[in-house]
Structure 1
Amino acid sequence: MEDRQEYERRKKAIFDQMSARGQQRILKTGYENWDPFQEPKDPREQIRSATAVQAGMILAEFFQSQGQEKRLRSHHKELMDLCRGLLRQDPRAMAVKAFCCWFERTPWKKD
């Protein structure tokens, strides 16, 4: 019981030290669900995930199909992020895909 009270006291102290904007973000998702003491995510997990490996394979195939187009390879990180987003059905990536498909069908496209 004492541990839980200490946890709540420390949690409230952290919350009170946050900016108003940070507090609003926490309140929007739910203060009771917020854990300020959780371990941060390991960025290496994002690199080694099954989605990242699959995206890497898709990107390698894309680069191979484009030949020696150096311009495309200079955007590897952006293309990798987009590919991972598409594989995860991320709303932002899906919006970019929808826009690109729409753009291909418009008179704005220059061939």
Structure 2
Amino acid sequence: LARLDAEVVDSLAIAELGRLIIETDHGVAIVRASFRALPRAVATRIVIAAVRRVSVAMDGDSRELTTERITAVVEAAGGRTGSLIQLPYGVDVRVDREVLVFMPRSAGDVEW
């Protein structure tokens, strides 16, 4: 039953990805207001997907992307502008006024 539930949540997250993620030259951005409106289970999967899109170091294994780190990103969507969250796999998440910006750590000085 849990596996079926996970499959449904995964499907919902995939459907939302196309609507929420904005591909850029330096990473991806997610509109904060839309992201905050998502069910938490869907939001966590979108964080993982965004990290996968940006990271050059993350292969299929996402064990270092712990629940605590994912939760920090989800909660930051409702937090202060200007925050920076450093995730494993060389990914930074910056909280801008309208978007969460997922970028490779080396792209941290890029303006959006």
Give me the TM-score of the superposition, normalised by structure 2.
Answer: 0.30
Indicate the structure with greater helix content. 1
More contact order relative to length (CA 8 Å, sep ≥ 6): 2
Give me the TM-score of the superposition, normalised by structure 1.
Answer: 0.30
